Amino acid sequence: NAGVTQTPKFQVLKTGQSMTLQCAQDMNHNSMYWYRQDPGMGLRLIYYSASEGTTDKGEVPNGYNVSRLNKREFSLRLESAAPSQTSVYFCASSWTGRVDTEAFFGQGTRLTVV
């Protein structure tokens, strides 16, 4: 049982390049999330998806797009990377409508934009 799997684990981009971060979960969860982690800022929500076919903006969505490909997969795309997007990105999943359940996190993608 892999839980939440993110690829790649590390990536270096040049300013203006694009890339897609991949996330898949095998727990049959309805909800999936993308967070970014920056020193002293904690984790901030970028986008989330409460069910297949729906996505919503979080606290810091600018510069990102997402796709909920199916129930298992939720990708995050940077169309034109900027140095301010240097961060560690975490994907997570949980049950929709179950406020008493925790979210499960992937191992993270460390992205550097130069």
Partner 1 sequence: AQSVAQPEDQVNVAEGNPLTVKCTYSVSGNPYLFWYVQYPNRGLQFLLKYITGDNLVKGSYGFEAEFNKSQTSFHLKKPSALVSDSALYFCAVRDITGTALIFGKGTTLSVSS
- C-beta of 17 vs 88, nearer to partner 1: 88
Q: Which residues form the interface with partner 1 (CB under 8 A)?
A: 4, 31, 33, 35, 40-45, 48, 50, 56, 58, 90, 92, 96-100, 102-108
- C-beta of 42 vs 53, nearer to partner 1: 42
**Angle at CA 104, nearest 5°, toward 100 and 109?**
145
7: which DSSP letter? Answer: E
- Exposure string of 4-16, with b = 16+ CB inside 10 Å and e = fewer, is bebeeeebebeee
Report in angstroms how near the CB of residue 39 gets to partner 1 at its nearest: 9
